[in-house]
Amino acid sequence: MESTLIAKFQDHSAVIGVMGLGYVGLPLSLVFVEAGFKVLGFDIDAAKVQALNQGRSYIAHISPDKIGRAVSSGRFRSTTDFSLSAEADALIICVPTPLDRHREPDISYVTGTMDQLVPHIRAGQVVSLESTTYPGTTEEELRPRIESRGFEIGRNFFLVYSPEREDPANPHFHTRTIPKVCGGSTSACLQVGQALYGAVMDRVVPVSSTRVAELTKLLENIYRSVNIGLVNELKIVADRMDIDIHEVIRAAATKPFGFTPFYPGPGLGGHCIPIDPFYLTWKAREYGVHTRFIELAGEVNHQMPDFVVRKTQDALNDQGRAMKGAHILVLGVAYKKNVDDMRESPALEIIDQLLAKGADVAYSDPFIPSFPTLRRGQYALESVPLNPESLSRADAVVLVTDHDAFDYDLIARHGRLVVDTRGVLPMGDRVVKA
């Protein structure tokens, strides 16, 4: 059965099922379609399914033309009907793994998806989990559910973990060119996983187990979290010393060895870096380990929106203006430049705090025209145009997300007070670094 499934991947006759059509699942689906595979996309959001089947895109960096070509080829269709998963040879799970209100792992999307699949799985399929999670999830949560149907993992059913490595809007790397780590529950599972991803990825990196693959993804993001936490703390120190931390980083980056530049910001955003470290710290407690270093970096990063708001308030005070009643324009609410993704964006926390202090807040973001609610607030905001009028009207402009689409010369000319959290504007009387 293993050799039959591998052959299907090698000759591209296999049907690929992708569970979750978001920032990971949708580009992955398109890569398989472009390689000649038939792809079934599954999502619980009927509006997303309808949009895709009509050739429309809901992700800024994925063009409607690309979706339209995939649909018109006859090799891609989307559905909310999980019973159709029986038609697929590979079932790839790309669903969110957030934190709950206690900042502990919430893998209910993973287990819920698997529970929806279990009644329909059949012999000769492979399940691949791509969602970021703690070591042991694949073996402890997915494997028992599959075996409950009487399948034997590695003989008539196959199970792998292959972490997603998407970086939306990165012009240098995309799904196919990013090396794909893959670990299997058994050696036969690993062979199947390598065949699945080897059919569409430039390089597959095999590892000895699903647990190794799971921890690999956590290490990648914890590495970034810790180093960003370090440079964010240095930013606070440098600010007290009246030193431009960005100038320091540029100078340090000239060292040709032993230094990798990381850059400070208003806080961490996105689905991975603010969340993933807590998956490891939670699991480590099971083994009696307290991950103090990782948690400290998380605390530093979590406090950065507070620092930005304090800098804004101090800058207004220096101009004889109170925060209460001040008109503040926030530039960028996406979690990173050039994307339309607001997940865990520090801009949301900054806006919450500004409003709580009595400020009148507006925002401008070319990628996010509107959003109905924030994490705790029940208010609606819509993006305003970035022009001389909106800039000069604001008592303070807070640059949170450094989109390439922003006209920084315009901002520097017309902003009465600009709080720059990204270090993209030159120092000046009206520019405050935060």
Residue-level pLDDT at 372: 58
Roughly what angle, to the nearest 10 degrees, separates helices 210-240 and 304-318?
20
| pLDDT value of position 73 | 96
CA proximity to 77, closest of 43, 115, 127: 43
Q: Which residues pair with 153 in a beta bridge?
A: 157
Asked whether residue 197 is domain-assigned, the answer is yes
Regions of the chain with pLDDT less than 50: 374-376
Q: Which of 161, 190, 208 is the last residue of a domain?
A: 208
Q: Tens digits of per-residue pLDDT, 132-164?
A: 999 999 999 999 999 999 999 999 999 999 999
Same domain for 117 and 13, yes or no, is: yes
pLDDT tens readout for residues 187-202: 999 999 999 999 999 9
Residues 203 and 252 in one domain: no
Q: From CA 298, how far away is CA 321, in angstroms rounded?
A: 33
pLDDT score of 168: 79
Three-state DSSP state, 262: coil
CA distance 292 to 65: 48
Q: Are residues 183 and 269 in the same domain?
A: no
DSSP string of 291-349?
-HHHHHHHHHHHTHHHHHHHHHHHHHHHTT--STT-EEEEE--SSSTT----TT-HHHH
Catalytic residues: 272
Rounded Cα gap, residues 400 and 350, in angstroms:
9
- Determine the Cα–Cα distance for residues 2 and 196; give it in Å rounded to an integer: 12
For residues 258 and 333, membership in a common domain is answered with: yes
202 and 255 in a single domain? The answer is no
294 and 187 belong to one structural domain? no
Per-residue model confidence as pLDDT tens digits over 409-420: 999 999 999 999
Q: Do residues 96 and 275 touch, judged by C-beta distance below 8 A? A: no
- The secondary structure element, H or E, covering residue 431 is strand 431-433
Residues 6+ apart with CB under 8 A from 433: 239, 244, 245, 246, 311, 420, 423, 427
pLDDT score for 377: 52
d(CA 164, CA 23) in angstroms, rounded, equals: 10
Domain limits at 385? 247-433
pLDDT score at 170: 82
On whether residue 223 sits in a domain, the answer given is no
Q: Are residues 253 and 159 in the same domain?
A: no
Which distant-in-sequence residues (6+ apart) come within 8 Å of 246 by Cβ?
Answer: 263, 264, 423, 433
Task: Using the structure block, give the residue that is written with the tokens 């993973």.
Answer: 110
Name 170's Cβ contacts closer than 8 Å, sequence gap at least 6.
Answer: none
